[in-house]
Amino acid sequence: MTAGRWPGCGATRLLVRIVGFYGFLLLTLSLGAPALAATAASGHARDAPRYTNRLIHSADPYLLLHAHNPVDWYPWGPEAIEKARREHKPIFVSIGYSTCYWCHVAERTLYSDPDIAKLMNRWFINIKVDREQRPDLDQIYMLATEILTSHGGWPNNVFLTPDLKPFFAGSYFPPTDDSFGRPGFPSVLRMVHEQWTDHRKEVLAKANRVYQIMQQVGVPGASAPAPVRPLAWVQQARRAFETRFDWKYGGLPNGPAQAKFARAPILELWLADARVTRNQKALGMLRGTLDAMALGGIHDALGGGFHRYSTERTWSVPHFEKMLYDNAQLLDVYTRAFQLTGDPLYRAMALDIGGYLQRDMSAPGGGFYTAQDAEVHGVEGSSYVWTRSQIDAALGKTAAKRFFTVYELTPMPDPTREQQLNGLVPGVLRVRLPLAKTLKDAGYPAVMPMLTALRPERDKLFAIRERRAQPFTDRKIVVALNGLAITAYAHAAGVLREPVYLQLASRAATRIWDIAYSPKTRSLKHEIFDGRAHTDAFLDDYALLGNGFLSLYEATHQARWRTHAQTMADIILERFLRPDGGLATVPTEKDLLIPPEDTGDNTYPSGTSATVALLQGLSASSTGNPRYAEAAAKIIRHVSGQVAKDPGQWGSLVAFLALHPQTRAETVAENAPAPQKAPSKGFHVPDSADHVHASATAGITAGQDEITVTLRIDPGYHVNANPASFDYLVPTAVRFDGLTPSRVVYPNPVRITPAFATEGLNVYEGTAHITSVFPAGTLKPAGTVHGDVRVQACNEQVCLPPATLPLTVPAARAN
């Protein structure tokens, strides 16, 4: 099943390349209703509920939102389907999710209206679906909507025959006919009812044509295996992206009025490309996008984390919902970008996201919530936006003037006339563009010192903002998405030296294992809500959670995590792997019109890509079981034909294959393609390890044990002291496997004043000694201790990427 295939509430995605003639044909055979555009509607306060329907018994926030509609809603299941077949009624299935803005508008303006509900109840069997609870249904019927209308988004409203074949679809329908001639929802209901009653033969014929196209598009036949050439795929994808990349504002696409999404799998691919091939265009696309997002309005400059997408080209005005899957992946991407480049902005962004998820999206017992809404009281973004006068009042005129040399307010679209006349148009905070002029006007040589200087003002504004009404949080814990978060936190814990991140990852993994996994049935559930697990898990739940377990094993070396990862992998091989190497994406295909298939990595890694990573990771972790590597190779061969056609659509998979030389060598040899040109062995990207050299000795005294690490720093270079002078700098830090010192004595720093930090920095130069003190008896005389020291080397002009220098401490000797 393709993960998050159609991003964005109300977003569009054309199927021209896939559907082609079929889409045109069906449009000409449509029932006569034009594409219906969404129109905004404001919410209102509710009285005590007058109605209660069967959704009150559901265990899902989005379904519960509709439990007091006068609509006779059913959850998806045999009861509703059998009733439709028994009564020969069409099915109206409405698919959305709890933090979708237009889904809320539809709930208020359509499904809460008793007159509209009467029509729905009289003529249709009405089913409400949460796309996050049933991603399989979401994928199937979004494909239908794209075939029928050439666009898609949420809410996704589809009319089905009793045998589940779609014949009419749309997104948000306004409650009444509008002045542009677009029919309101009551008119749509009457039209569909009349067509079903008076022209059923034509409707059924159309439904069959849609079904046939869905089979051709949604269930692609087995492609002939292609040579598995990850580096060639990386190059092929890069060339395709270069033509679509926005070289002025970063990201994809480059159109002037098109929405922009983070698209983490593509960022992941550019990261791998830059790391493995050292290609400067790949690095440019990566950095151009990460920088633009970090400084734009899509980033919550006050509360941290990233919004769902930008509504325009410059990343300034977002759609305000926040999703776990975006932020978990961006935590990992910014962490890895910091590893690659040493850019302190990326470290700051990773910490920013990690802090946001910990504060606002962490469940008390462990695990991470799914999303936060875009609206409050029916007004999108109202908790996030500001006016200039509000900031002046909060900070004072002088501080506000300084603040606005760096930040600006991008006006929200469609302000009221009163707001315009009074100069009170709300806006979204972002760093001013162009950046070079902002740095010059503010008097800073680089971005991070400038942002750090304004942290007190941002903290003050955030404290004020927290007193406003806050967006709704969807508190279900989706297993696949938590797998993404566990992986990101486990990795970031070591890179960023944040032990609490490892605790967050471990608590989430433990809770999911304890509640969502059943040892008795050897099966996993898809989500946890109100302390109970629900819905059988999908392929991506097993695979992404398995990768989370494996990341915890790599971070802690605790065997239980590897054992849990093996359990997930074993179940996948037993229940999802097909003889030809393909993977089923659902635990059962009962009551599904077509079997959902993975067709790429879209919003996050597909179950197929995550499975390959899990199996190869287990194969490399000394399990001694060759079947994992063999199964991974089989899956890769099966999907290779699809990947070769469009490697950019499989960003996560191609990135993984490119980053793992053993996988590259095995698959290339097996498929016998032409040899790939390797990077020159003489090519080397400098990093801190080139200029900092570490050694260590151990000593045992009567009162304590000690390990002394000696750093020898090349002339002209220095490393940051511990603590570092600024929170965006990487401090020098030591660590030892399995040992926690009672204290670490760092040397007295040298104070320097380089051109890029005129306020001065504390550093170490020349030779520096770091002593870690342990309780007496900790170090065994015959034992060897392993550890590392984290450093970042800089000179007067440049800071190199940080390096982790390994330490092997010989057996301790008594002094």
pLDDT tens for each residue of 442-470: 999 999 999 999 999 999 999 999 999 99
More confident residue, 782 or 477: 477
Q: How confident is the model at residue 798 (pLDDT cuts 50, 70, 90)?
A: low
Residue 188: Cβ within 10 Å count: 23
Nearest to 461 by CA among 328, 587, 302: 302
Residue 11, pLDDT > 50, answer: no
> How large is the average pLDDT for residues 407-418?
86
More confident residue, 65 or 783: 65
Segment (H or E) for 525: strand 523-529
The pLDDT tens digits of the residues spanning 482-516 come to 999 999 999 999 999 899 999 999 999 999 999 99
Q: Which of 213-227, 728-742, 762-776 has the lowest mean pLDDT?
A: 213-227
* pLDDT value for 776: 85
* pLDDT value for 9: 61
* CA separation for the pair 154, 116 (Å, rounded): 20
The pLDDT tens digits of the residues spanning 249-286 come to 999 998 777 899 999 999 999 999 999 999 999 999 99
Torsion of CA 345, 349, 352, 353, to 10 degrees: -170
* pLDDT value for 689: 84
* pLDDT value for 626: 87
* pLDDT value for 487: 98
Contact 574, 537 (CB under 8 A): no
More confident residue, 79 or 758: 79
> How large is the average pLDDT for residues 612-632?
87
More confident residue, 803 or 639: 639
Q: How confident is the model at residue 668 (pLDDT cuts 50, 70, 90)?
A: very low
* pLDDT value for 814: 55
Residue 549, pLDDT > 70, answer: yes
Residue 17, pLDDT > 70, answer: no
For residue 797, give the 3-state DSSP assignment.
coil
Indicate the residue type of 407. Y
The pLDDT tens digits of the residues spanning 574-583 come to 999 999 999 9
Tell me whether residue 672 is exposed, middle or buried, using C-beta atoms within 10 angstroms of its C-beta: 0 to 12, 13 to 18, 19 or more.
exposed
Average pLDDT, the chain: 88
Q: How confident is the model at residue 41 (pLDDT cuts 50, 70, 90)?
A: very low
How many Å is the maximal CA-CA distance in the chain? 99
* CA separation for the pair 4, 18 (Å, rounded): 18
> How large is the average pLDDT for residues 305-310?
97
* pLDDT value for 12: 39
- Which string of DSSP letters, residue by residue, matches 570-627? HHHHHHTB-TTS-B--SS--TT-SS------BSSS--HHHHHHHHHHHHHHTT---TH
Q: How confident is the model at residue 310 (pLDDT cuts 50, 70, 90)?
A: very high
More confident residue, 795 or 124: 124
* pLDDT value for 22: 39
Q: Which of 413-422, 511-520, 732-741, 783-792 has the lowest mean pLDDT?
A: 413-422
More confident residue, 759 or 315: 315
Q: Which of 1-10, 104-113, 220-229, 525-534 has the lowest mean pLDDT?
A: 1-10
Q: How confident is the model at residue 641 (pLDDT cuts 50, 70, 90)?
A: very high
> How large is the average pLDDT for residues 529-553?
97
Structural domains in the chain plus CATH codes: 16-218 (3.40.30.10), 384-468 (no CATH), 477-671 (1.50.10.10), 688-814 (2.60.40.1250)
The pLDDT tens digits of the residues spanning 165-195 come to 999 999 999 999 887 778 999 999 999 999 9
Contact 415, 425 (CB under 8 A): yes
* pLDDT value for 680: 36
* pLDDT value for 286: 98
Q: How confident is the model at residue 220 (pLDDT cuts 50, 70, 90)?
A: low
* CA separation for the pair 699, 711 (Å, rounded): 18
* CA separation for the pair 249, 245 (Å, rounded): 9
> How large is the average pLDDT for residues 430-446?
95
Contact 482, 548 (CB under 8 A): yes
* pLDDT value for 388: 95
More confident residue, 482 or 726: 482
Q: How confident is the model at residue 46 (pLDDT cuts 50, 70, 90)?
A: low
Tokens of 756: 């890029």
* pLDDT value for 785: 86
Nearest to 287 by CA among 240, 374, 199, 346: 346
Percent of the chain with pLDDT strictly greater than 90: 72
What is the reported pTM? 0.79
> How large is the average pLDDT for residues 68-74?
98
* pLDDT value for 784: 81
Q: Which of 297-301, 432-436, 623-627, 776-780 has the lowest mean pLDDT?
A: 623-627
